[in-house]
Structure 1
Amino acid sequence: MSRDGATDAYSLILDAIDRGRYPPGARLVETELAERFGVSRTPIREALGRLETQGVVQHDGRRGLVVASLDHNQLGELYEVRAVVEGLAARLAARHAAPEEKALLRRLVEDSRRLTADPESLRDNNRRFHRQVHLASHNRYLNTMLDGIRRSMALLTMTSLSDPLRGAETVDEHDAIVQAIETRDEDGADAAAQRHISRAYEKRLSVEAER
């Protein structure tokens, strides 16, 4: 099996976890995954091994491999680190982003205004937005760190964007980040990104408390 095949299986499984198809604690069986994604068991096995190394899946006794979960403290630690690195990404984007990258970020914000009543589409837009800010930082080492954080975020089963009010707030927060990037306001971009993550964490805690 080619490395591309293994990479595709990895992406498919991670995306399924990210979308809640396999929530924390769900068993991951090679044969079932192979059938679902239409690939052989070899790339599935390789992908699961890679995800286990990254802490996305774990062994659970006789149940075998399951999707990992985050406890309350881990959730706080994740958002604490995320706020800092997302702020740095926005700061560097304000410093380095090309005009075309700024235009794309602006377009994503404007697109998102029409999606606040569609949580799934807004969620996808949100992922693209943050990914584009990360890329606009033009720092490969920072992006490696952010890739790890994105994998951990996939373990959060419910999106806070299912609340239309939070969806609208998110759009406004993204707009503030882009405005700072457009004007090369590094301090403003950093602060806006950290406020955005802090508000997301606050909403996440509210969602978890209501479950």
Structure 2
Amino acid sequence: MPVPENRGLVRRSLLREDAYRAIRDAIVSGTLAPGERLHDADLVAWLGVSRTPVREALGRLEQVGLVQTSPGRHTVVSPLDVRAVHHAQAVVAAMHELAVREAVPHLAADDLAAMRAANSRFEAAVRAADVDAALAADDAFHGVAVTAAANQAVVTVLEQFTPVLRRLERLRFGSLAGRASVAQHERIVAHCAAGEVDAAAAAARENWLTLAPLLDTAGGGAPAAPDAPDGRDG
């Protein structure tokens, strides 16, 4: 076949995705705090990319509610918006419920073993207050069912809305309250192993809805920066 004239598209796509993930992860981890102004020049220097992927990344982050932009004035990290988190939680819980429902008939012994191993890592991380390790183990646990379900629509929706919950999950997994998820994970695995589709799906949904009480203590986050120009881009 003829070589397409538009060369380098894959690499540019990777740059955009890398920039998006790097800024997103910095917001989720708290490295970029709620209310902090995001300047294009600083982000370009940090990421080592041009301004275009940075602006595209900020646009995507605004769509998922992690940044707020005032065109021509400034971009800031969004405060923890209780309403947005409630909405994201409902969507993410429903997607994991669907993923488990579709995955149960296809789960093999190796899949169940992977879920149990991930939950063991999760328990150890929560006990050690290692939030990053807890999040990674939690992702691995739930990722087994998401992968087995093989539903790309579920993956796409989770990719969009899960980051909105990450700042709340960090609060949960950094405290003793996170230990409750260990038992909830065990129930999910037990229902999956028994082939109990409805019970497994309901347990998965319940697990994601347990973040709700944290909204009362974390609501509001830091205030956004005042709406005034500061003479810098972004």
- Normalising by the residue count of structure 2, what TM-score does the alignment of the two structures yield? 0.77
- Residue number among 42, 59, 62 corresponding to 1:52 in the alignment: 62
1:205 corresponds to which residue? 215
3-state secondary structure, aligned to 1:114: helix
Q: Relative to total residues, which structure has the larger helix share, 1 or 2?
A: 1
147-156 vs 85-94, which deviates more? 147-156
State whether structure 2 residue 161 is matched by structure 1 residue 152.
no
Cα distance in 2 between the residues matched to 1:78 and 1:179: 27
Q: Which residue of 1 aligns with 2:119?
A: 109
Task: Tell me: CA distance 1:7–1:175, structure 2 relative to 1, closer, same or farther (3 Å).
Answer: same
Q: Check the 8 A contact 1:20/1:157 in 2, yes or no.
A: no
- Give the Cα separation in 2 of the matches to 1:168 and 1:123: 13
Q: With structure 1 as the length reference, what TM-score do the two structures score? A: 0.84
1:142 counterpart residue number: 154
Indicate yes or no: 2:190 matched with 1:179: yes
Compare relative contact order (CA 8 Å, sep 6+) and give the higher one, 1 or 2: 2
Distance 1:169 1:157, change over 3 A: closer
Q: Mean Cα displacement is larger for which, 12-21 or 72-81? A: 72-81
After superposition, where does 1:1-211 map in structure 2 within 5 Å?
2-60=12-70, 63-116=73-126, 117-120=128-131, 121-154=133-166, 156=168, 158-164=170-176, 166-202=177-213, 204-208=214-218
Percent identity between the aligned chains?
A: 31
Q: Secondary structure at the residue paired with 1:65?
A: strand
Quick check: 18-27 or 70-79, which moved more?
70-79
The one-letter code sitting in structure 2 at the alignment partner of 1:119 is: D
Of 75-84 and 14-23, the range deviating more from structure 2: 75-84
CA distance 1:11–1:163, shift in 2 (3 Å): same
The structure with more radius of gyration: 2
Report the number of matched residues. Answer: 209
Q: How big is each residue's C-alpha offset from its partner over 1:13-62, in whole Å with a ceiling of 9 and x where there is no partner? A: 11111111123322211111122233333322232233234443221366
Residues 94 and 183 of structure 1 are in contact (CA less than 8 Å); yes or no, is this contact kept in structure 2?
no
2:125 aligns to what SS in structure 1?
coil
Separation in 2 of the partners of 1:154 and 1:29? Answer: 23
Does the aligned pair in 1 maintain the 2:93–2:209 contact within 8 Å?
yes
CA distance in 2, matches of 1:191, 1:50: 31
Contact 1:90 1:186 in 2 (8 A): yes
Contact 1:23–1:157 under 8 Å retained in 2: no
What secondary structure does 1:66 align onto?
strand
Aligned-CA RMSD value:
2.6
The separation in 1 between residues aligned to 2:40 and 2:19, in whole angstroms, is 11
Q: CA deviation at 1:108?
A: 0.3
More deviation, 31-40/136-145? 31-40
Q: Is the 8 A contact 1:23 1:155 kept in 2?
A: no
Does the aligned pair in 1 maintain the 2:65–2:84 contact within 8 Å?
no
- Could you say what secondary structure the match of 1:58 adopts? strand
Structure 2: 5+ residue stretches without partners = 1-10, 222-234
